[in-house]
Amino acid sequence: MDGVSEAPARSTVPTWAKRRLFDVVEYHRMGEIGILHEDDPFELIEGELIEMSGIGTPHIGAVMALTQGFALPAAGRAMVSVQNPLRLDFRNEPEPDVVLLRLRADGYRSEPPPMPADAFLVIEVADSSLRYDTEVKRPLYAKHGVAELWIVDLDAGEIEVCRAPVDGVYTDVTRAGRGRTVAPLALPDAGIAVADVVPPEEN
């Protein structure tokens, strides 16, 4: 009916129903044959295609600030990967906003793709995705041994720094607000001012 928007459809499939899970080979095959397209906002999490949240202006600005902030300090020591896949295992291939990767002779242009052992630092920028990033992706990264994770909480104006993963849990978690500078353990001289990443504080 004109002028009336429909509510989002809710799944009636019970949570206990058996689902058909995909692996990374099938996931990429769907792209090759056109079922998925390069700009489709999906990532593979625990074998399921998860639609990623839309990217707003503060999110874009945060990713740009992080990319620019790491570009010079990382030169010759790490590669800055922006919104590209990180393969955790055969059923998990999230697309973090920023990853600092170890240098590799082939520049990751051939197999294998970037994996947890290659990542110095993984960064997720969160606004509407905060619950998903903290409840789903944070334990997933910890489970697969990602050494350091930052979650940029745009609403709070803080960066959550997660380190020392043990048995699927980051055992060292701190939060840094505006006025603080944070740096990855692997590149301690590559500090990023939190105020340069999060939105300005409202007066």
- DSSP assignment string, 153-202: ETTTTEEEEEEEEETTEEEEEEEEETT-EE--TTSTT--EEHHHHSPPPP
- pLDDT at residue 4 tops 80: no
Q: Say which residue the tokens 């074998």 belong to.
A: 47
pLDDT tens digits for range 47-103: 788 887 778 899 999 999 999 999 999 999 999 999 999 999 999 999 999 999 999
What is the percentage of the chain residues whose pLDDT exceeds 90?
Answer: 69
pLDDT for 36 equals 75
CA distance 95 to 161: 18
- Average pLDDT score over residue span 166-181: 97
- Average pLDDT of the residues of the chain: 88
* Higher-pLDDT residue of 3, 131: 131
In CATH terms, is domain 55-197 a member of 3.90.1570.10? yes
Torsion of CA 123, 185, 144, 66, to 10 degrees: 10
Burial level of 126, CB count in 10 A (0-12/13-18/19+)? buried
Domain-wise residue ranges, the chain:
55-197
Residue 150: partners with Cβ closer than 8 Å, 6 or more residues away: 121, 122, 123, 124, 159, 160, 161, 162, 182
- Judged by DSSP in three states, 188 sits in coil
Residue 105 pLDDT more than 50? yes
Write the CA distances from 96 to 15, 30, 93, 149, 155, integer angstroms: 27, 21, 9, 10, 19
Global confidence as pTM: 0.85
Helix, strand or coil for residue 82?
Answer: strand
Confidence of residue 153 (pLDDT cuts 50, 70, 90): very high
* pLDDT value for 7: 42
> Would you tell me how many other CB atoms lie within 10 Å of the CB of residue 67?
17
**Residue 169 is which amino acid?**
V
pLDDT confidence band for 37 (50 / 70 / 90): confident
pLDDT at 10: 55
